[in-house]
Amino acid sequence: MSGFDGRTALITGGGTGMGRAFALALAERGTPVAVCGRRAEPIEETAELCRAHGVEALASQVDVRDPERVEAWVAEATAALGPPRMLINNAAGNFLAHAIDLSPNGWRAVIDIVLNGTFYCSTSVARSMREAGVGGSILNVIASYAWTGNPMTAHSATSACDSSASTSRRNTSSSPHAAATNAVRSPASRSSAASQSSSIRCRRSGSLTAAPLLRARGEATVSRVASRA
């Protein structure tokens, strides 16, 4: 038995990479899991892998940029698995581009997912916890280059930096309802080509010194750390 048994966890971007690793790490600890993402097939695969650990799991197609769909997802997960006790904001979008060449649509796409999506999910889950009279935790996955800077990631770094700042602000505003908010960062944990390229730049520039363990870590390591947060 662990402290996670029966405590429902919601995970955005749960179809692949870190999102799937988070889901499996929690399922191994007896946590019912609700994963969401924009593509049906990978999130259903994640849910099936979680069920193989003997826990209930729900897969839902959700675009976190849509606050109404986020509200519906949280309600759906609550009805199926019980009130949420944990949220992991893992959904992200990124591509490499020089700031001077970024289009307004490209800027908005990343901001809407990483920053606005995190806000929509966090506030919806916090309200659900409050209505159920339970406490819980919210974990935001962010990038180390939010502080160090990194070439061609102005849109992503801005989103991550603002998300980090809002982590502290939400701790202050939600503390009466016992929804603790934390953040975890890893310079080389995501599988996209953009993130792999960013990781190489981090190594070459020495910005890995900003990482707590002074080295890049993979999905499994980060998910184990986060599941204890």
User: Would you tell me which CATH number, out of the four given (1.10.486.10, 3.40.50.720, 3.40.50.300, 2.60.40.10), belongs to the domain 8-226?
Assistant: 3.40.50.720
Residues 55-87 have pLDDT tens digits of: 999 999 999 999 999 999 999 999 999 999 999
Nearest to 44 by CA among 69, 20, 17: 20
Distance of alpha carbon 213 from alpha carbon 124, whole angstroms: 33
Distance of alpha carbon 131 from alpha carbon 44, whole angstroms: 28
pTM beyond 0.85: no
Catalogue the active-site residues: 145
| C-alpha neighbours within 13 Å on the C-beta side of residue 120 | 23
Predicted local distance difference test score (pLDDT) of residue 149: 65
What DSSP string runs through 116-175? IHHHHHHHHHHHHHHHHT--EEEEEEE-THHHH--TT-HHHHHHHHHHHHHHHHHHHHHG
Nearest to 175 by CA among 142, 131, 229, 130: 130
Residues 158-188 have pLDDT tens digits of: 665 555 555 444 444 544 555 566 766 554 4
Predicted local distance difference test score (pLDDT) of residue 14: 97
Residues of the chain predicted below pLDDT 50: 1, 167-172, 174-175, 187-216
Domain spans, the chain: 8-226
